[in-house]
Amino acid sequence: MISKIAILLAIFTLLLTSCASAEPTETGLPDEPASATESPTEPLQDSEAEPSPYPPPAVDSSPYPEPTGSDSSSDSASPYPAPLEPPTSGFEPAPGDDQLARSEAFVEFEQSEILILESAPPQINIVLRGYLPDPCHELRVEVSGPNRRNQIYFEVYSVTDTGKACITQIEPFEATIPLGSLPAGSYSIWVNDQSLGEFDV
């Protein structure tokens, strides 16, 4: 009889225990951690935020703006643009000119001319006529261009050895400067910053 009572008490105790564990608690359902039912109420701080998979945008710290792609070169920056490479004329600057004195060469614009040879493609020759200070001076012609305005510049001058004795009389010259063929367009020729003329090819 006592054993039956002990068995009934054990069964009753187990039932009470199981009912107690089945009741919901304040923190969540049975067998679930309390944190599983809680939702965060505050945003994560910057230090807790997940790192972005993308790199941060670049910041331009340069004080100068980027070029816009337009031609920023100015014709007034230098009277003579980048050198043209026409056929040789024999009047180009020569080695040793830096050891000689530079002087003027006087161009007669009325006697000088632009020649367009009838060929395919047309060949352009510039004929310069004028005079040098004396027979000991040698003619030099530097050609540059065309620039973005299709201007071609001629710098005409002379060089001489000042240690050499020379007679005092002017020396006429005639120099043919070939420009070769040029792309189709309208061009102007400037000699020592003066206009010689214009032509079309």
- What is the per-residue pLDDT across 178-201, written as a single tens digit (0 to 9) for each? 999 999 999 999 999 999 999 999
Q: Where are the domains of the chain?
A: 79-200
∠66-72-150 over CA atoms, to 5°? Answer: 150
Query: What pLDDT sits at residue 88?
Result: 86
Predicted confidence (pLDDT) per residue in 57-66, tens digit:
555 554 444 4
Predicted confidence (pLDDT) per residue in 103-156, tens digit:
999 999 999 999 999 888 899 999 999 999 999 999 999 999 899 999 999 999
Mapped onto helix, strand or coil, the DSSP state of residue 17 is: helix
What is the percent of the chain with per-residue pLDDT over 70, rounded to a whole number?
Answer: 59
Tell whether the model's pLDDT for residue 23 goes beyond 80: no
Flag whether the pTM goes above 0.75: no
Beta strands 186-191 and 151-160 are parallel
How far is it, in rounded angstroms, from Cα 197 to Cα 190? 7
Cα–Cα distances (Å) from 94 to 27, 43, 118, 152, 173, in that order, read: 99, 80, 31, 21, 18
Give the residue with greater pLDDT, 123 vs 74: 123
